[in-house]
Amino acid sequence: MNPTRVFWSVAAALALSLSMGAASSAPPPAQEGATQSSRADAQAFIDEATRKYNAGLVNSAKPGQAIVPAAGPNWSADLDTWVEYTFPASSGASCMNGTPYRMYYKVSSDAGMRDKVLVDFEGGGACWNFDSCRPGADLGAANPDGLPSGYIQGNGIVSNTAPQLISPVLEGNTFLVEAAARLLFGRGSGKLDDGWWGRLWQTTTAPETQKWTKVVFPYCTGDVSAGASFRSFNDPAAPDDATKTKYVNFNGLNNVRAAMRFLQDNKFTQSLSDKGYLQQLLVYGGSAGGYSAQFNYPMIRQALAGEKTRVALLNDSGPLLTAPVYNAGETISPADLEKTPAAKFWQLAAHTWGFFQQPLAADIRVPGHPEYAEQASGVIARWEKTTGKKLNITKATGGDTGSFSTLLSRRYPDDRFGLASFQQDQVISRFFFVGAQNAEVAGLEGSALRDAKLELFHKELDLVRANLGPLPNFGYYMPWSRYLVIGSHVTTALTFAGTETSRAANMRDDGGRIQPAFDGDVGHFLNNLLSANSLEAEPVLKEVGPEKAEPLNLAGVAGWLLSLFNVFG
């Protein structure tokens, strides 16, 4: 791998970290009454966007790019190389602008690791109205103009693609990344017995997932891969000008549905093992990808896991802030808003992205397209169909968003689930409590805005802990902060360094259980989720780090300086 390219990739990742943290605090206005259309209309949108896209194609193959051949995938070819599959328009898969959706996979050449699969969802914000869904929006989503061919290519993510996918969970860190981690945090991605600078050359502990077969879902739908809703938004500056209407296909749920069908039809799991089933499966994502991983977990599990497959979830920094979901237009009760301030955002998102989407008549009776009704059903209907359990998250049913975690725990009691989140997450707090305009943050600026957002976030994070604490197979890991990397957002981004916490032996963990000593980082939390031991022999971790000042190293000094200028406000 070219050291110069690696250097600039690391520089780009740090620039992304700062740019995400520095996004404007001015909220886009909520846009009520955005028009919802049928899946038949969405398919026409996809067909036309794909036609225009294909008409404009030129020969843009890149060095090292591998593409699924027309005859279909050959899972034993191109081992340890990222392979691109572009979904046809007929699959119903697309980016938010209707252009083709792409999935990437890399089959391990290690025979002992080949039937262990990591499903990784890329992160990158979210959108819900005209302003936040436009390219270049300060508070918006990644790739609103679609995914170019070669988004991932060759045999390495670090040198070739978006820095949002750089994580030691997915790819092994290079020497330069490890050196940067030691410069910023005093150590690399794993725990060394001796952290002296003289041992800089030594590689650190790497998670086994780096050697697994991998499937990656890039992010281009703006809906945390949970949407099934085709909508049009009027330009607030010219609401009566139909030529400026923006059409957005919140299509993440259908992209995953199409991907699972592709993998099943082409016997993906059977090709990886002579046993015919996967040995292990981890569904993982960071930021928006963390939400994607949890929202799509039942569907992925049903499609890929066998009866003997060990299955786990790592939702990194996609906390399902607990609140009852109100229907669009309903007034949230003052008591609910005081207890669960995230209720305003969930009401907006669930309505816009189509969590409760119902097929229209046009979807049900389209000749030759019986799948439209399935595509139009929202994430709630998909969960209930897959798990066979009722999922109540609405105010009317007495449920809340915490039911997404409770139902997983009870439906799959032998699976291991985990949520990782910094307590000082400057990004999630911005999206939840600025995008939906809670009264506590309206009109505030600078440090006052930042502090108000974090106060609401802490209130909600306590509710998340109360929800997950009693669940025997749902762990969580919540260190205090890591300001320099995306404003204390995504614990597994770039490096595990800076995520350390500890607890003495024979003390109660955050779940109230007497446990052995813990002294580690988020990499240890990952390894706990991957453990082959039973939950009785090795319980899931429930660890929350204490409030702390940034250490006296480059990261601490930089974080302090950035806080002075309200970079993460």
Question: Residue 565: pLDDT band by 50, 70, 90 thresholds?
Answer: very low
Q: How far is CA 514 from CA 131, 436, 507, 546, in A?
A: 49, 40, 5, 18
Q: Residue 384: in which H helix or E strand, if any?
A: helix 379-387
pLDDT digits (tens, 9 = 90+) for 253-303: 999 999 999 999 999 999 998 888 899 999 999 999 999 999 999 999 999
User: Is pLDDT above 80 for 503?
Assistant: yes
Radius of gyration of the chain (CA): 22
Q: What pLDDT, on a 0 to 100 scale, did the predictor assign at position 137?
A: 85
Identity at 116, one-letter amino acid code? K
- Could you give the CA distance from residue 188 to residue 191 in angstroms, rounded to a whole number? 7
- The answer to whether the predicted template modeling score (pTM) of the entire model surpasses 0.75 is yes
Question: How much is the average pLDDT of 516-522?
Answer: 89
Bridge partners of 401, per DSSP, are none
Question: How much is the average pLDDT of 226-237?
Answer: 92
Winning range, highest mean pLDDT, from 228-232, 242-246, 557-561: 228-232
User: Is pLDDT above 50 for 48?
Assistant: yes
Q: Tell me if 389 sits within 8 A of 404, measured CB to CB.
A: no
Question: What percent of the chain is predicted at pLDDT more than 70?
Answer: 82
- Could you give the CA distance from residue 55 to residue 48 in angstroms, rounded to a whole number? 11
Question: How much is the average pLDDT of 239-244?
Answer: 86
Question: Residue 1: pLDDT band by 50, 70, 90 thresholds?
Answer: very low
465 vs 486, more confident: 465
Chain centroid to CA 212: 19
563 vs 166, more confident: 166
- Could you give the CA distance from residue 173 to residue 494 in angstroms, rounded to a whole number? 8
Q: What pLDDT, on a 0 to 100 scale, did the predictor assign at position 445?
A: 85
pLDDT digits (tens, 9 = 90+) for 536-550: 999 999 999 988 765
User: Is pLDDT above 70 for 202?
Assistant: no
Q: What pLDDT, on a 0 to 100 scale, did the predictor assign at position 455?
A: 94
Q: What pLDDT, on a 0 to 100 scale, did the predictor assign at position 58?
A: 73
Q: Residue 50: in which H helix or E strand, if any?
A: helix 39-55
> Is beta strand 246-250 parallel, antiparallel or unpaired with respect to 280-286?
unpaired
Smallest Cα–Cα separation from 29: which of 173, 239, 343, 206?
239
Question: Residue 248: pLDDT band by 50, 70, 90 thresholds?
Answer: very high
User: Is pLDDT above 70 for 168?
Assistant: yes
420 vs 363, more confident: 420
Q: Residue 217: in which H helix or E strand, if any?
A: strand 213-217
Q: What pLDDT, on a 0 to 100 scale, did the predictor assign at position 159?
A: 47
194 vs 484, more confident: 484
